[in-house]
Structure 1
Amino acid sequence: MRPIYFFWIVFAISLYWIGYLYQDFLMNLLIAGLLCVATFWLKDFFDRYVKLNVLSSFLCVGVLLAFLIVPLYFVGHKSLKFILDLDMETFSFFLEKSKTSVSRALEYFPALSSSVDKILSNISAESIMTYIVKFGSYIGKYSLNFVKDAGFILVFLFFFFYYGRKIYNYMLGLLPFEISQSRSVFAEINGVLRVVFLTSIINVILQGFAFGAVIIWFGYDGFLLGILYGLASLIPIVGGALIWIPIAGYEVYVGNIATAIFIALYSLIFIGFVIDNLIKPVIIAFIKQRILKTPLQINEILIFFSILAGLSTFGFWGIVVGPTITAFFIALLRLYQNHFSDKQDW
């Protein structure tokens, strides 16, 4: 057996066992690596003013962590304060009044009235609080997993920042391509991830501001609901509906039908359609053309749909995974076209 064949057999076996050994950390490593690629410009910025590599790496992780921790802390603090200040008698009165209103509305639908009345009879302030406590325990359980994964991602992210340039140079030498070819592939992926990262941040801020600036005129906490709406916009499929539907429902309950219709239409048409589907591709095109130094050859509409595909397939982290897979595939096609294909003009 030729040594090279034996090497590839042994390498494939060792690669399998490496994947099996670190399977619980592979997604965290992937997310940390992609975040590092998307935000390595932060490292370049801090390196201009901070000479210690370890300090600049910590600063990069701290800045990214602040984007996540500060809004969540504010929302958690406000939510906890609301629960602690909740008057059970007022809540019980509100609930009973709501049940009475629903029962009266269903008098026009006799077929539904009996079944709905049975459901309403089992609903009380105590049962809802019990459900909230039980739901909170589930949230706490999954929050622990999220915190654990986020902790590993932050640790891996720090090391990727710290050793980023060495890893990049090592990968350039490891790949069986010319250095210029490898650089073009990495530059394409890096550019797409930067576009996606900046677009996601701008989209969250834009949607949150658009909702908060309007909802404040109806007597709500525009700052809190704006943050909640912006964070909810990152959730696949449902997005900001988690915020505006309960508010519109409450406005219907208190009799402000026009206000409820306005909030629903404003959220669906202006925020959900105009901002998310029309303005977002424009933002992608602007960032691609004006902010990136390296021009990308991937259409902004394709980047937009790769984000949607990533969200539907991988959930929240599909924001970065989907565009990465798309950019890598297209970069390989372009590499083949330019350097390995006999037909250079197709």
Structure 2
Amino acid sequence: MRPIYFFWVVFVVSLYWMGYLYQDFLMNLLIAGLLCVASYWLKHFFEKYIKNNFITSFLCVFVLLTFFILPLYFVIHQSIDFLRHLEPHSFQMFIEKLRNFTSNTFVDFPSLNSSLNKVLSNISVDGMMTYALKFSSYIGKYSLNFVMNTGFIVVFLFFFFYYGRKMYDYAIKLLPFQKSESQAVFEEINGVLHIVFLTSIINVLLQGLAFGIAVMWFGYDGFLLGVLYGLASLIPIVGGALLWIPIVGYEIYLGNITGAVFIGIYSLVFISFVIDNLIKPIIITIIKQKILKTPIQISEILIFFSILAGISTFGFWGIVVGPTITAFFIALLRLYQNNFSYKN
């Protein structure tokens, strides 16, 4: 057997066992690596002022954590404060008023009226506390795994920032192409992820701001609901509907039909359709043309649809996984066209 064949056999077997050995960490490694690539511009920014690799890597991770953790901390703090000041008597009176409202509103629909009354009759302060305990135990069952995965992602993210340059140089040397071609592939992926990262942040801020301003006119806490809507917009499929549907229902209960219709149409048409589907591709175009120093050759429409495809296939993390797969595939096609395809 020729040595090269023996090497590839051993390499494939070794690669299989490496994948089997680290299978529990592969997704965490992938997510951390993609986040590092998407936000490596932070490292370049900090390196202009700080020359210590450890400190700049730590600051990059800290900034990313702050972006995700501070809104969650604010929401949890406000929720606990709301529950702490919740009066059982007032809550029970609200349920009674809601039961009377549904009975009078759906009097012509006896089956629906009966179902709603059955649901509302089971709602009480004690029942809510029991449900909260069951829900908290359910959350606790899966939160440990989530916290562990998040911890591994944070650790891997730090090491990717810390050794990013060395890993990049090593990967360039391993690829059997010219250095300029290998760099072009990585720059293409980096550019796409940079666009996706900035677009996602701007989209969250725009949706949260738009919803917060709208509900503030109806007496709600615009800042809290804006933060919640921005976070909810990251959830695949349902998104901001987790916020605006309950508020529309509450406005209907209060008898403010005009306000309920406005909030519903505003959320569906302006936020969900205009901002998420029309303004988002424009933002991608602006970032691609004005912010990125290295131009990429992938259409902004393709980037937009790769985000949608990634979310539908991989869930939340598909925001970065989908565009990465698409960019890598197109970069390989371009590499094949320039080096291996036969020209007539």
TM over 0.5: yes
Q: How far did residue 145 of structure 1 move?
A: 2.1
> Hey, what's the Cα distance between the residues in 1 that align with 2:220 and 2:54?
44
Kindly provide the CA deviation profile for residues 261-291 of structure 1, in whole angstroms up to 9, marking residues without a partner as x.
1101111111011100000000000000010
- Match of 1:36, as an amino acid? C
Report the counterpart of residue 302 of structure 1 in structure 2: 302
Q: How far did residue 130 of structure 1 move?
A: 1.5
Q: Structure 1 residues 274-283 or 126-135, which shifts more?
A: 126-135
Q: How far did residue 93 of structure 1 move?
A: 1.1
Q: Does 1:137 align with 2:137?
A: yes
Kindly provide the CA deviation profile for residues 232-275 of structure 1, in whole angstroms up to 9, marking residues without a partner as x.
11111111111111111111101111111110111111101110
Report the counterpart of residue 46 of structure 2 in structure 1: 46
Equivalent residues of 2:193, 2:324 under 8 A apart: yes
Report the counterpart of residue 151 of structure 2 in structure 1: 151
Q: How does 1:217-296 map to 2 (within 5 A)?
A: 217-296=217-296
Q: How far did residue 135 of structure 1 move?
A: 1.4
Q: How far did residue 215 of structure 1 move?
A: 1.2
Q: Structure 1 residues 290-299 or 120-129, which shifts more?
A: 120-129
- How many residues matched? 344
Q: How far did residue 121 of structure 1 move?
A: 3.4
Q: How does 1:27-176 map to 2 (within 5 A)?
A: 27-176=27-176
Kindly provide the CA deviation profile for residues 38-76 of structure 1, in whole angstroms up to 9, marking residues without a partner as x.
111111111111111111100111111110111111111
Q: How far did residue 133 of structure 1 move?
A: 2.2
> Hey, what's the Cα distance between the residues in 1 that align with 2:297 and 2:56?
32
> Hey, what's the Cα distance between the residues in 1 that align with 2:100 and 2:107?
11
SS in 2 for 1:315: helix
> Hey, what's the Cα distance between the residues in 2 that align with 1:112 and 1:57?
58
Q: How far did residue 210 of structure 1 move?
A: 0.8
> Hey, what's the Cα distance between the residues in 2 that align with 1:123 and 1:228?
25
Kindly provide the CA deviation profile for residues 168-191 of structure 1, in whole angstroms up to 9, marking residues without a partner as x.
000000111111111111010000
Q: Structure 1 residues 219-228 or 118-127, which shifts more?
A: 118-127
Give RMSD over aligned pairs: 1.3
> Hey, what's the Cα distance between the residues in 1 that align with 2:77 and 2:278?
34
SS in 1 for 2:295: coil
Equivalent residues of 1:95, 1:125 under 8 A apart: no
Report the counterpart of residue 331 of structure 2 in structure 1: 331
Q: How far did residue 116 of structure 1 move?
A: 4.4
> Hey, what's the Cα distance between the residues in 1 that align with 2:189 and 2:115?
56
> Hey, what's the Cα distance between the residues in 2 that align with 1:96 and 1:119?
12
Report the counterpart of residue 196 of structure 1 in structure 2: 196
Equivalent residues of 2:43, 2:57 under 8 A apart: yes
Equivalent residues of 2:102, 2:113 under 8 A apart: no
Distance 1:70 1:4, change over 3 A: same
Q: Structure 1 residues 38-47 or 106-115, which shifts more?
A: 106-115
SS in 2 for 1:49: coil
Kindly provide the CA deviation profile for residues 203-244 of structure 1, in whole angstroms up to 9, marking residues without a partner as x.
001111111112111111111111100111111111111111
> Hey, what's the Cα distance between the residues in 1 that align with 2:245 and 2:286?
32
Q: How far did residue 85 of structure 1 move?
A: 1.1
Equivalent residues of 2:311, 2:319 under 8 A apart: yes
Equivalent residues of 1:337, 1:343 under 8 A apart: no
Q: How far did residue 151 of structure 1 move?
A: 1.0
- Match of 1:323, as an amino acid? P
Q: How far did residue 114 of structure 1 move?
A: 4.1
Unmatched tracts of structure 2, length 5 or more: none
> Hey, what's the Cα distance between the residues in 1 that align with 2:50 and 2:111?
72
Unmatched tracts of structure 1, length 5 or more: none
- Match of 1:262, as an amino acid? F
- Match of 1:289, as an amino acid? Q
Q: How far did residue 79 of structure 1 move?
A: 0.7
> Hey, what's the Cα distance between the residues in 2 that align with 1:225 and 1:122?
28
